[in-house]
Structure formats: C-alpha cells, structure tokens
Amino acid sequence: MENNLTLFDKVWESHVVKRVSGGPDILFIDRHLVHEVTSPVAFQGMKERNIKVLFPDRTFATADHNTPTINQHLPVKDPMSANQLKTLEKNTKEHDVSYWGLGHEKNGIVHVIGPENGITLPGATIVCGDSHTSTHGAFGAIAFGIGTSEVEMVLSTQCVMQMKPKKMRINIDGSLKKGVTPKDVALFIISNLSTSGATGYFVEYSGDVFSNMSMEGRMTVCNLSIEMGARGGMIAPDKKTYEFLKEKEFTPKGDKWEKAMEYWSTLYSDESAIFDKEYMFNAENIEPMITYGTNPGMGIGLSKKIPKSAPGGENSHAKSLNYMGFNDGESMVGKKIDFVFLGSCTNGRAEDFRAFAKVVKGYQKSKNVTALLVPGSHFVAKEIRKNGVAKTIEEAGFEIREPGCSACLAMNDDKVPAGKYAISTSNRNFEGRQGPGSRTLLASPIMVAAAAITGKITDPRKYID
Amino acid sequence: MAYEPFTILKSSGVPLPIENVDTDQIIPARFLKATERKGFGDNLFRDWRYNQDNTVIKDFVLNNPAYKGKILVSGKNFGSGSSREHAAWSIYDYGFRCVISSFFADIFKNNCLNIGVLPVKVEPAFLKDLFEIIYENPSTKIMVDLPSQLVSVEENNLAASFEISSYKKNNLLNGFDDIDYLLNIKNEINDFAKKTLF
C-alpha cells in the first residue's frame, strides 16, 4: 500500500470507474444535487436521447436559485421563474427523483440542505450544477461544480469525465484573533492567492485553524475555494464531522455506519503525501477582512488601505475601482452602506445568524440601511426561531425572510439597485452580481451586522466579547 | 446537444483585453430563467453592451463594427466564477467558436469543450502580440488549426502551439460528446455502482 497519498487521491482513486487513455478519468458520483436553473436543458437532452435517470436514489432536487423569499405559500409571480420551477417538478416526477420544492420542509439552498440531511458524506463524490458545490468538501468529500452538459452526464450515467486536478495544501497553524471568523480566513487566503491562484488544483486545508473550526465554519471556507479558481476544497473528517452527521436522514445506519467509519478513518493525507503546491500561513496575521473591488481576491484587512494594484488583475484594477467608486490609498472603514445581506451557501447557516444576533443585540437597525436576512433553509429558519436568535434579530428592527439564494445572485426580486453599496456575507462581488450596477463588499456575518446598525463599514470587534 | 465539428477556423478576432472576465459578465444571472437553450447570444455581455435603459454602449467592443469574427480574444482568467454553462452557450450562440486567452477558469473551459467552443490557451506574450495585431488591423485573419494544435497569424509570422487532450480533440473534430462515450460503458458503471459504500 502506498503511503504518500493525499486525502484527495484516496477519495478520487476509489471512484475511478475507468481511465481513458490520453483523456479524462471516468469518475463515479455517489450523490448528485439538482436545482431548477442548471437542470432543465439536461433533462431536455435526456428526452431527446430517450433515456432515464440511471440512479434516482442518488439524485436529490430542490428549488433555491430562482425562488422568492417572501410569500412562498403563494404562486410565484414571475412567469419565467414559475415555469422553471414547474419544469423541475415535472422532470423529477417523470424520473422518480425526490424533489424538495418551494414550501417543502426540507427545502433550502442546495449546499445547506445537503449536509443538514446527511446527503453529504466523508469520502463521497458529490456534484451539482453550481460552482459552490465545493462547500461539501468540509466533510472530506470530493465535491465540485459542473456545467449542464455534465449534469446530463451524471443524470444519465452517474459518472463525469474529468482530468484529475493537481493537488494543493493550505496550512494555517496558530489561533485566530478575536473577531476573526472563517469568512475572514477564506478572504485572507484568496487575497493572497488571487482569484485564479488555485485554478487547476483541488485544495486541502490543514492545520490548527481548520481542526478547531466548527463544521459550519469549514463549510464557509470550502465554499469559497472556487473563488480562487480551485475546483474544490476539502478538510479531513474528524470527530466533529461524525458528530454532525450521525443520525441524519441519509447517513448510513447500524452496520453500514460502522463500515463507513472504517473507510472514513483512512481519510487523511499520509505523512509523506505529495502535493503539487503548498502554502503556509500564520493565524495571527489574519484580521477581519473586507473586499473593495470586483472579484473576491480584491480583499484587505480592516487596518489596511486600498492598494494600487492586486495580484492577478494588474490591468483591470483601475476599471474595478472606478466601478466601485473607490480610490487607492483609501481606508474601507467608515464607508457608507445602503444594503446588507446575510445569507447564501457561504454564510446562511444557524451559526451565521447567531453571530449576527450577537452583534445587533441591544442595538437598532440603521435607518439608512435596507436589510435582507435570508436563512439558508427551512431547517435553519426553524432552528434560529427555536433558540431565540430570530427574536433577538427582530427586536433590533430586522425582518427575517424565507429561505433561498436570494440577493447572492439576485435572480429573484431581492436586488441591490444600481450604484448602491451592499455589504454581503455571500461569495461574489462581481460587477452587477447583486443587481445591475450594484456594488458589493464581501465580509463576515459580524462585520455585516456592525454595518447594519451603524450604516457604514465598522470594526465589528467592539461589539463582541 | 449536437454541435458543429471543429477543424480549422480562420477568422478575424474580437479583442477584450480585460482580466478576470467572470461568468456574471458573460451572462448575468437574471437571464438564466429559460428552460430551453436558445437566444442566449442576445444577452452575451449584456451589461457591458447595453445601458439599463437598453441603449447601446458604443465603446464596448461588440458594438464596434470594426471588430467582428468567430474568435474572441480575451485577457487572462477568462470565465471565472459560476458553473453556468449558459456562459459558454451565449458565446456559441453569439457566433464565436473559439476563445483565445492566456488563462481559463476550469469549469468554464470544460463547459466550452463540451459544447463545441474551443478554448485556446497561449502564453501572455503571444496574447499581447495578438492584441496589438488586431488593434492595428482588425480584419487580420487568425488561424486556429485543431488537427495540428496550432494558432497563427500568417501575415505577422506569429504562431504557437496549444494543448488539448487527445480525447477532447477527437470529440471536437467529430462533434461527439461525453454522454455517447459513457452510455457505451453502462455495464461497467452498473458493476461499479454495486460495489460502492453509499
């Protein structure tokens, strides 16, 4: 048995059905997540080929990208969105695939509900027609986003054809300072590597910082792997992983759990594992982060000033700052905010709402701010209702909406108007991402909370113990 | 979905010398509500092509009649961001068959190869020369020769080879897709599935 394998190698190799010479590997996919936006053309293609979903039990469908976050009990108003939802319902029915549509108790953002229901498992291969599928790597799964042609491939054959990516390890030892969250860790890494620094690689995160991180925090970090170009990121499973998953609906039970545990206990990178690239950072050097530009690599620590150029975007830096209405040399602290967004597959879990509540407790929402607070799933919505977090947030003058992707990509009505500034817990600050002409600043739930009560970029550390 | 096989393409190029062009710029999310693959070319680079009142933004390259052709030439890290294949569809539907850049985002590159758009990765210096050549004479023909994996501009003595896996190359030359291949090994897949843990 070789003893120089990475965690990624172990999971990948155990899923290779066949190697095509001079070409990709044929990778077996354990679990396939499907949503309304990237699946209709795939189902259409299958209809034209006259084929059915090969393994309906390995396929899970939900509606999240293109759904309203108020009045979900009423018919969807936008006819195109309504049609897209109806199409998924019809397609899943025709192919015997489970569908957790709008209003279903298990409905929510695809990358939030996967782990919640134990669909996500260590050592599994998971794909979805969505780039933030990397989220599931937090459990030691190989999880990555695919295009619609590949969605059709997986629906019809449960396999994708992929060239095996190179391997990167990012190690961070030490302990994080007060007010530094998993989101800050991820934005810090991306600002160092640039938005394309990990393209062609699959990343493993290791070191004290990730071992000490909650499962929710690990999901935030792995979620953002794609923002530095990596197909996915993963963290070796440990006790926390198993605790989180045990007794969830779709996790193996009884003997099957024991057998799975046997496999899972082998899932770590060997001591002499070979990586194509390694980075080491020190936890003490990370401070609360905020982005100032139009890609997630354009981020700085709160104490820093907007730089003259950013790695990987030398020729587009000025265009980007011009779009944002900022100048180099400026500090981000004190900049006026019009919108706040708490939610998304990056930071839409109960822990994120808890963090937000901690900051706004005893304060009131700034009058100049429009707030969109969107839980990642019905399960999250219920949990924060049960433990009083929702009440704290509402007492501070905020409204909590119904679950979905919402203003992260602004396919529904949750849009930021042109020229307005939104501080957002989501994952992309691209031009127009949150609505045509919108300007997005990415940050952690606590920094978003501090901005929500002050109406400007504010150091969140003074609001937490 | 079937696409036209790709062999040798000779065309002028459309220059977009911007880095990190993300898929939200290529096709904004609000245009992803369709359930069929048609008409995406109309909204390619929508918010760079049109103002919010739908008037044309004259200085964007797609609105400049001097620049036409089936080859898009773009700055590094083209196609970063989301996995939406709609980005590749909109490029194909608009009429491009090839994108030349010094670096491509991963999922976007795969999506292109799966629908018959050829991503050609060249060295930064080659890309810089290519931009200069196009700006000097927008009608300059660029040749992209897939069988010999060569991109060249004859009149300027510029040429470079590019990489592509032999499997994908064969697919593009013949208009095949991966599903055809996978359906042929369904028995092997079924056997494999029986041995999986979950």
The CATH number for B14's domain is: 3.20.19.10
Residues of B in contact with A41 (CB under 8 A): 1, 35-37, 85
Structural domains counted in chain B: 1
Q: Over range A238-254, report the average pLDDT.
A: 97
**Interchain contact, A51 vs B76, CB within 8 Å:** no
Closest CA to B37 of B2, B81, B82: B2
Smallest CA–CA distance from A149 into chain B, residue: B114
| Mean of pLDDT over chain B | 97
Q: How far is B133 from chain A (nearest CA, A)?
A: 19
pLDDT confidence of residue B151: 98
pLDDT confidence of residue A21: 87
Closest CA to A179 of A365, A294, A295, A303: A303
pLDDT confidence of residue B1: 64
B127 domain-assigned: yes
Residues of B in contact with A256 (CB under 8 A): 197-198
Residues of B in contact with A165 (CB under 8 A): 106
Structure tokens at A419: 């020229």
Q: Which residue in this structure is represented by tokens 């206990």?
A: A265
Domain span at B115: 8-164
B142 domain-assigned: yes
Window 125-164 of B: residues touching A by CB (8 A cutoff) are none
Smallest CA–CA distance from A231 into chain B, residue: B106
Separation of alpha carbons A110 and A379, rounded Å: 12
Domains, chain A, with CATH or none: 7-165+239-262 (3.30.499.10), 306-463 (3.30.499.10)
pLDDT confidence tier of residue A22, bands split at 50, 70 and 90? confident
Separation of alpha carbons B159 and B149, rounded Å: 11
Q: Over range A173-187, report the average pLDDT.
A: 98
Q: Over range B80-99, report the average pLDDT.
A: 98
> What confidence tens digit (pLDDT) does each residue in A368-425 have?
999 999 999 999 999 999 999 999 999 999 999 999 999 999 999 999 999 999 999 9
Structure tokens at A122: 């260590």
Angle at A329 (CA atoms; ends A325, A330), nearest 5 degrees: 55
> What confidence tens digit (pLDDT) does each residue in B131-182 have?
999 999 999 999 999 999 999 999 999 999 999 999 999 999 999 999 999 9
Is pLDDT at A2 greater than 80 in this prediction?
no
Separation of alpha carbons A112 and A161, rounded Å: 26
Separation of alpha carbons A162 and B107, rounded Å: 10
Q: How far is B105 from chain A (nearest CA, A)?
A: 6
B45 domain-assigned: yes
